[in-house]
Amino acid sequence: MAGSAAPNAQTDAMAEVIDWKAVGPAFHQFWTSTYAHEVANTTRLTGRFRNYGQFSRFLAMAASAVVTGLAGFEGSLIRAATAVAGGIAVVATGSAALFRTDQRLAANRRTQQALLSEGWKFVSGADGYEGGPTPANATKFITTVELLLSTYIDTYVRTIDEPTPAG
């Protein structure tokens, strides 16, 4: 299964079964500079946005709990603390939406899993890669990975970096 081991360990395991002489140095260069790099990059970004989203939601929840807890008390210091906690809750809630952490997490995770799945198909000779890592299959693999990365970039630009203004 693609998600059962660390992605870098998976790309390393895949690389061990590839006969690099058979597929050629250009494919080896593509594997290390593009494929394995993009798997590692999407893994890193997935973790970053998951952590940021979880932290901001926890902070918003904790600040909301403080606001609720202080609501029954009176005094200028209590009002100030309530206002500060309320402000933190609003900013923490809004920042996850503003920076689109959920969409970024989903786009990176989807691409990471698609890349890993394609790599495992290639090395195992499954789903259109009959014969495993051959020069012809290497060409098909490069084309498919480039399409996955192009789709990833298109999704990022279309839905995250340049969203349609609310109308």
Q: According to the 3-state scheme, what is the secondary structure of 19-70?
A: CHHHHCHHHHHHHHHHHHHHHHHHHHHHHHHHHHHHHHHHHHHHHHHHHHHH
Please answer whether residues 59 and 88 qualify as being in contact, where contact means their C-beta atoms are separated by less than 8 angstroms: yes
At 84 the three-state DSSP class reads helix
Within a 10 A sphere around the Cβ of 9, how many other Cβ atoms? 10
Instruction: Specify the pLDDT at position 9.
Output: 85
Tally helices (H) and strands (E) across the chain. Answer: 7, 0
Q: What are the pLDDT digits (tens) for 47-62?
A: 898 888 889 889 898 9
145 pLDDT tier (thresholds 50, 70, 90):
very high
Task: Compute the Cα dihedral for 39, 40, 44, 47 and give only its sign.
Answer: positive
2 pLDDT tier (thresholds 50, 70, 90):
very low
Q: What letters, b where the CB count within 10 A reaches 16 and e where it falls short, cover 17-35? A: ebeeeebeeebeebbeeeb
Q: What are the pLDDT digits (tens) for 22-40?
A: 889 999 999 999 999 999 9
Please answer whether residues 92 and 57 qualify as being in contact, where contact means their C-beta atoms are separated by less than 8 angstroms: yes
76 pLDDT tier (thresholds 50, 70, 90):
confident
User: Residue 118 burial by CB count (10 A; 0-12/13-18/19+): exposed, middle or buried?
Assistant: buried
Q: What are the pLDDT digits (tens) for 10-26?
A: 888 898 888 889 889 99
pTM: 0.77
Q: Does the pLDDT of residue 98 top 50, yes or no? A: yes
Backbone torsions φ then ψ of 126, nearest 5 degrees: -105, 160
